[in-house]
Chains A and B, each alone.
Chain A
Amino acid sequence: MTRNFFRGILHGVPIALGYLSVSFGFGILAVRAGLAVWQATLISAVCVTSAGQVAGVEIIAAAGGLAELALVQLTINLRYALMSLSLSQKTAPSFTLPKRLAASFGITDEIFAVCSAEPVPLTFSYMAGVILISAAGWIAGTALGAAAGEILPERISAALGIVLYGMFIAIVVPTAKKRRGVLFAAVSAAVLSVLSRLLIPALSGGFSVILCTLIASCAAALLFPIGGEDA
Chain B
Amino acid sequence: MNFYLSLAVMAGVTYLIRMLPFAFFRHKIESRFIRSFLDYVPYAVLAAMTVPAVFSSAGSLIPSAVGAAAALALAWFDLPLIVVATAAALAAYLTGFFF
Interface set of A (CB-CB < 8 Å, partner B): 17-18, 21-22, 25, 39, 42-43, 46-49, 51-56, 59-60, 63-66, 69-70, 73-85, 87-89, 97, 100-101, 103-105, 107, 109, 155-156, 158-177, 181-182, 185-190, 192-194, 197, 205, 208-209, 212-213, 216-218, 220-222, 224-227
Contacts and interface: CB of A to CB of B under 8 A. Distances in A.
A77 B17 contact: yes
Contacts of B35: 226-227
Interface residues of B, number: 72
B74 A79 contact: no
Contacts, number: 292
A165 B53 contact: yes
B88 A163 contact: yes
A170 B71 contact: yes
Contacts of A175: 43
A84 B18 contact: yes
Interface of B: 1, 3, 5-7, 9-11, 13-15, 17-23, 25-26, 28-29, 32-54, 57-59, 63-64, 67-68, 71-72, 74-76, 78-82, 84-90, 92-93, 96
B79 A170 contact: yes
B36 A193 contact: no
A181 B71 CA distance: 21
A167 B84 contact: yes
Given A159-B63, A216-B48, A81 B18 contact: yes
